[in-house]
Amino acid sequence: MKAQKLSTAIGTVVPKGIMVLALFFAAAQFGPNAFGQQSTTVIRGGTLIDGNGGPPVANSVIVIEGNRIRTISQGQQANLPAGATVIDATGKYITPGLWDTHTHYHNWFPELVISSGVTSVLAYDGNPWLEAQAEGTAKGKILGPRFFMTYPPIGFIYMGANDIVKDPEMAVQQVRERVAQGAKMIKVYTSVTPDVLRAVTREAHRLGLKVSGHIGMPAREAAMAEIDNLAHATGLPVPDLLKPEDLDKLSDMRVIDTGRLRVEFPKIGRPWNRTTALWGPLPDLTEYPLFIEDPRRIMAFGLMDRGLAQDLINLLVKQHVAIESCIGYTFRYANDHLEEWRNEDRVLLTDPNLGYIPERYKMNLLDYSLMEKFRPDELELMKKGYRNFQWFTKTFVEAGGKITTGMDTSSSYHATMMPGLAVRREMQLLVEAGLTPMQAIQSATKWAAELLQANKDLGTLEAGKVADLVILRRNPLQDITAFKEIDEVMKDGRVMPLGYHYDYQNPIPEPGERQLGFVDWLVSEIPTRITSISPTSVTEGDNTFTLTIRGQDFVTSSVVQLGSALLKTEFVDSTQLKATVPADLLSRVGTYPVRVVHRAPAWGTTNAAFLIVKFR
């Protein structure tokens, strides 16, 4: 087919391959605005799977104006707006854009996520960089999905953090703080007790938000405290799904490896104690195998009593508690695709066009060394646990429960899930657990949007809703692996460039790892440390402003450096500096390091904070 647009009486028909190439080269040559244009688009001829669960609509015609679907009809004779760009989807299948409901989003995600059809993500975090990414993608100036954020979890105990919420009043205040920051959901962590959780859910619900929990309490207690979602299916299976005699077996399970302590409290080398563990945190049995190197939770599923499980399922459904499945992550070593996906990841990560993925993530994604440490009886019990969880998942959905596709993609400390790909693998695992392909699609579309209370605009393809969609070459209702073969992705009415490119760059890079050391200190003194800056983000083209730097041991000779520019600096006191940032330094978006330097003889450079310059 020639590389040209074909003019017709109804508009412009754009061959698929030419459209994507044109979009990519436009973005590469002219900047991110090139794929940010919204106009009138018609997608015709495809079979529509709208996500509502009804029969598919053959020979559909979807008219999109700006970022919303104006009409959906059927048949070749539908009235089409003059001058529209027409995408011929004959022989193809159209679904809503996919969701990943549990991400720890990073700089290298965008191409992987978008090329896998993921158009919305829930980021279990929130910071100025993520805010800049969210704004930039919404404006069509940065490649990436739509963002929903929780901001920091309440009751966070992890990698040295010790955010124990002491009472319900403190919990209410923390909910309000996160809502003020812009959270679309509240997350709680393992140290939260039932009383505190009740206070969190009561206040969050009053303010119109749902609550998700990586909980350290039994799922039954969390359900009675009106939690809305169990992240990683935490709270299961201990203790609700095990008979007393099987609970007692947990203390006899060996700790397979203590070499990489992911969770500091309590130490994982300690045998599980039924008496002290019931009121959490329960990291040994609510986490997953990698980095704590502890498969005891998976083996505990192998001891699950299905009668007890049915009772809990009934309660969860009655209380409208959703479950974030996380099957691919939790059962990484026990599912039926270990070697297949291991090889797929190995091939993908050797693609030179993905050379920008950091090495430590590649190492974790390909690390299956724990397999060498399992005894045959342990692996057998883990596989039994996997079958039990498949049954639990199928039975939960049959009873009216909602599952969402959230895979903890891809935390800095335990990255084992490939962004984007993890969603379509999770849908495959859900089908193998007994869900219908339609239910698996809904878990990644309709049910996910409902969990985030975004279903008024997202999650299904209907007139009036936002045009987030995926065009597939095969029928996913016949074979859910059809999501491997994506023809087009549209987000917010914009056709997205697909594929991986060695020279991909995020226009607002993620700030680097926290710097713990200092460089170039020539004298013996306590080095200055920056603890915060304000503001943390500005917009390109802003006027000259004052940047406040807080820290310790500032001196009268301290000078603030933004990027490579030394700023006019006012010494306020040993804990605060003020610097003037001229407008000409704000002309380009990006991520700029802020440091404090000293003149000789005490010349030295501190750690860096980061100022984000966002798109206007």
What are 17-38's pLDDT values in tens digits?
Answer: 444 444 443 343 333 344 556 6
Task: Give me the mean pLDDT over the 87-105 stretch.
Answer: 97
Whether residue 459 has pLDDT greater than 60: yes
pLDDT > 90 fraction of the chain, expressed in percent and rounded? 62
Q: What's phi and psi for 72, nearest 5 deg?
A: -130, 125
Whether residue 516 has pLDDT greater than 70: no
Whether residue 499 has pLDDT greater than 70: yes
Distance (Å, whole) CA 349 – CA 352: 8
Instruction: Specify the 3-state DSSP secondary structure of 430.
Output: helix
- The chain-wide mean pLDDT, for the chain, equals 84
pLDDT > 70 fraction of the chain, expressed in percent and rounded? 81
Confidence label for 414 from pLDDT (cuts 50, 70 and 90): low
- Residue 233's nearest CA partner among 387, 403, 439 is 403
Distance (Å, whole) CA 249 – CA 122: 37
**227-241, 375-389, 405-419, 513-527: range with highest mean pLDDT:** 375-389
Residue with tokens 């980021």: 123
Query: Which of 183-197, 227-241, 526-540 has the lowest average pLDDT?
Result: 526-540
- Residue 402's nearest CA partner among 371, 370, 440, 375 is 440
Distance (Å, whole) CA 318 – CA 425: 29
* Domains of the chain with CATH codes: 98-495 (3.20.20.140), 529-614 (2.60.40.10)
As given in the structure block, the two tokens for residue 442 are 């809904």
Distance (Å, whole) CA 582 – CA 443: 49
pLDDT digits (tens, 9 = 90+) for 117-149: 999 999 998 999 999 999 999 999 999 999 999
**287-296, 301-310, 593-602: range with highest mean pLDDT:** 301-310
The pTM (predicted TM-score) of the whole model is 0.84
What pLDDT was estimated at residue 37? 60
pLDDT digits (tens, 9 = 90+) for 163-221: 678 899 999 999 999 999 999 999 998 888 899 999 999 999 999 999 999 888 889 99
Whether residue 97 has pLDDT greater than 50: yes
What pLDDT was estimated at residue 581? 94
Q: Where are the alpha helices (DSSP H) in 33-95?
A: none
Give the torsion sign (CA, 153, 156, 158, 163). Answer: positive
Instruction: Tell me which DSSP letter residue 96 carries.
Output: E
Segments of 33-169 assigned E as strands: 40-44, 47-48, 60-65, 68-74, 84-88, 93-96, 98-103, 118-123, 146-149, 157-158, 161-162
What pLDDT was estimated at residue 67? 95
What are the b/e assignments for 412-445, b being 16+ CB within 10 Å? eebbbbbbbbbbbbbbbbbbbbebebbbbbbbbb
Distance (Å, whole) CA 221 – CA 77: 57
Distance (Å, whole) CA 276 – CA 282: 10
Strands in 98-103's sheet, in edge-to-edge order, are 98-103, 118-123, 146-149
pLDDT digits (tens, 9 = 90+) for 40-74: 999 999 999 999 999 999 999 999 999 999 999 99
Q: What is the amino acid identity at position 195?
A: D
Task: Give me the mean pLDDT over the 274-298 stretch.
Answer: 47
Whether residue 153 has pLDDT greater than 80: yes
Whether residue 4 has pLDDT greater than 60: no
What pLDDT was estimated at residue 291? 35
593 vs 600 pLDDT, higher one: 593
Q: Which residues contact 169 (CB under 8 A, 6 or more apart)?
A: 199
What pLDDT was estimated at residue 155? 87
